[in-house]
Chains A and B, each alone.
Chain A
Amino acid sequence: MGTAPASRDVTSYGMGLAAPLALFFLVFFVAPLLQLLWLSLHNDTAALHWGFGQYLHFLTDPFSLGVLGSTLLLGAEVTAVCLVLGFPIAWLYQRVGPRLQTIIILIVLLPLLTSVVVRTFAWIVILGRQGIINATLQSLGIIDTPLKLLYTQFGVVIALAQVQMPLMTLPLITALGRIDPNLDDASCSLGAGSWRTFFRVVLPLSLPGVIAGCTLTYAAAITAFITQSLIGGGQMLFMPMYLYQQASTLQNWPFASAISIIFLLAVLAVVSVFTTLGRMSRGYGGA
């Protein structure tokens, strides 16, 4: 026994095993990002003259700032809808039998299993002027003229919320599953009603899941190019489409690069706000 080597500390394994991933990351992520940064620091489309002109242009242009603002707002709205709808689903999941749990998981995952194009066209069918909603409401006599649902902020938010729901629900299910069920009972036996128990015990303890879910949903919602463009139509412009137009249609690569860098920083800022909020609420670590 004396000669048997002690099991090696995990940290002592060489970093070599991570090399393939690191290389992949370097070639396909870091390098393009640096190239993007390099491009964005040129004032002309041919990328000959250095300068901060593209950034200056974006940050002083009300139109560009408007697009950025509405994109960030869109993300916030989708995240809020997903949170409000996803929490009850996750909560329900932890309180039903195993058979219902399987069904719930299946329903939650369903959007991920459908092609984005099919899913988006389904929404067009549902939300359109002659779509399912308008047809139903009209035949019931609730409305006379069709509501405008497609090509509206509302439509985009609903369609995105449906797609991103799993990103919110899955972390929530995990977080709620980690809460000791006795805590519910303890709270109740101490005289707290269901709402107090929810706000004082369940919600704070599920915060890690809320933060993770919000971050994922937010990041996915603001970058969802296809859904944004098809449901939003021509009248609504969000950052991914704006970027695409600049790069592809107008061939203004430096400006497109600057847009992506600004977009990236804005998203990072929002995400770090989420994480800071999470750290400030000392809601986890126990159990």
Chain B
Amino acid sequence: MAETQGGRSLVVDAVTHRYPSGALAVENINLDIKGGEIIALLGPSGCGKTTLLRIIAGFIAQSQGRIIIGDDIVDALPPNRRAVGIVFQNYALFPHLSISENVGYGLAARGVDKATRQREAQRLLELVQLPTMSERLPRQLSGGQQQRVALARALAIKPSILLLDEPFAALDKNLRLDMQIEVKRLQRVSGITTLIVTHDQEEALSMADRVAVLSHGKLEQFGSPSDVYDRPQTLFVNTFVGASNRMPGVVVSADRTAAKVRLDAGAEIIARPAGGALTEGGRVTVCIRPEHLQFVGDETGFAGVVGMSLPLGATVVHEVTTADGSGVKVSQARIGETRALESGAAVRLAPLAPSLANAFPATL
């Protein structure tokens, strides 16, 4: 493809935005994105993802901070001069224009003549695998097809940054997977720096080179998918990305790399201090993922009573009630004949390894 120009870098520098209504939507966000990267903005509803996207596109002027694309500070540029392509969640195709005219719209705005426009639109429609749809109107296309057209329309202006706001939310599961692969393929070919907004963690982890996790307008963590999943820096990230058991406890002793924690459930375990230094005697919340807990035969670990076992295909999830009355989930791979666990059976549980239990200072 001709436009392998290596996308431009994007820096979000200490951006804060407060809506006129007084709502603080994003607060001191810093992102340093290299040219050609795919970044996922992940967070629950209302955490400020769309706001940040609209600030980068230029639809909203942030209250504080700077947006830098390549070497240029773009804060003074209106959206139509930022060369940022954006795909809206509802696609926002022009309903009165044909597919070909939709894709060629950005080129028309740049004064490209009609013949070139049509040729380019056709080329892009082939790229998104809709070569025969050019004369139709948007309403004559399915949701997934409209999505592809929206993508082609955004790519037509050869943007230096591509922004996608919940691009796959409206698609059913199979189509969503197809489109995820498709977007990733197009992104690899074109090398355009891409920012995908999503509240679907699987989507973020599978598509992105790096994931930025947001909560209540603040950046919780910005790192590779494995960083975010395996080495979460905050309790929020640990529980929002992937499932996790939260177990309260008290620090017995701690250094920089390991902490001995006495769980309220009744065992001493070694955990990784994940959210900064821990103080002896302080309350902590330990997060352990269901797949990182194992049943142990000896007297190590903490005791519990099995409640219910749910066979979920490749894994079996057991619900166990611990001595302090809280529930934990344990997920076991189903290898051959897994030990059947009766409801009411007494078991003992322990983390697979110390590095797989994360301790965060408890917040009240």
- Is B110 engaged at the interface, CB distance under 8 Å to the other chain? yes
Q: Is the interface on chain A under 10, 10 to 19, 20 to 34, or 35 or more residues?
A: 20 to 34
B224 to chain A, nearest CB (A): 29
- Chain A residue with Cβ nearest B163: A189
List 24 interface pairs A-B (beta carbons < 8 Å), by A numbering. Answer: A182-B92, A183-B92, A185-B92, A186-B86, A186-B88, A186-B92, A186-B94, A186-B153, A188-B59, A189-B85, A190-B85, A190-B109, A190-B156, A192-B80, A192-B105, A193-B80, A200-B105, A205-B96, A282-B96, A283-B96, A285-B95, A285-B137, A286-B96, A286-B137
Q: Which of B81, B85, B95, B108 has the most CB of A within 10 A?
A: B95
Return chain A residues, CB-CB under 8 Å to B109. Answer: 187, 190-193, 196
Binding site for A on B (CB under 8 A): 57-59, 78-86, 88, 90, 92-96, 105-106, 108-110, 137-139, 153-154, 156-157
- Is A264 engaged at the interface, CB distance under 8 Å to the other chain? no
Question: In the docked arrangement, what's the CA distance between A204 and B156, Å?
Answer: 23
- Chain B residue with Cβ nearest A181: B92
- Is A81 engaged at the interface, CB distance under 8 Å to the other chain? no
Q: Is B157 a contact partner of A204 (Cβ separation < 8 A)? A: no
Question: In the docked arrangement, what's the CA distance between A25 and B154, Å?
Answer: 54
Q: Is A189 a contact partner of B96 (Cβ separation < 8 A)? A: no
Question: In the docked arrangement, what's the CA distance between A196 and B79, Å?
Answer: 14
Given contacts A189-B80, A190-B157, contact A182 B95 (CB under 8 A): no
Partner of B86, one of A183, A185, A284, A285: A185
Binding site for B on A (CB under 8 A): 180, 182-183, 185-193, 196, 200-201, 204-205, 281-287
Given contacts A286-B137, A286-B138, contact A188 B96 (CB under 8 A): no
A189-B57, A189-B59 known; 10 new pairs, CB 8 Å cut-off, are: A180-B90, A185-B79, A186-B94, A189-B85, A191-B110, A193-B109, A200-B105, A283-B96, A284-B96, A287-B95
Partner of B78, one of A188, A283, A286, A287: A188
Return chain B residues, CB-CB under 8 Å to A282. Answer: 96, 137
- Chain B residue with Cβ nearest A193: B80
Question: In the docked arrangement, what's the CA distance between A5 and B301, Å?
Answer: 63
Sorted from nearest, which 5 A-B pairs have the closest CB atoms? A286-B95, A190-B106, A182-B92, A192-B109, A191-B109
Return chain A residues, CB-CB under 8 Å to B94. Answer: 183, 186-187, 200-201
Question: In the docked arrangement, what's the CA distance between A255 and B186, Å?
Answer: 75
Return chain B residues, CB-CB under 8 Å to A189. Answer: 57-59, 79-80, 82, 84-86, 154
B26 to chain A, nearest CB (A): 18
Q: Is A188 a contact partner of B90 (Cβ separation < 8 A)? A: no
Question: In the docked arrangement, what's the CA distance between A185 and B138, Å?
Answer: 18
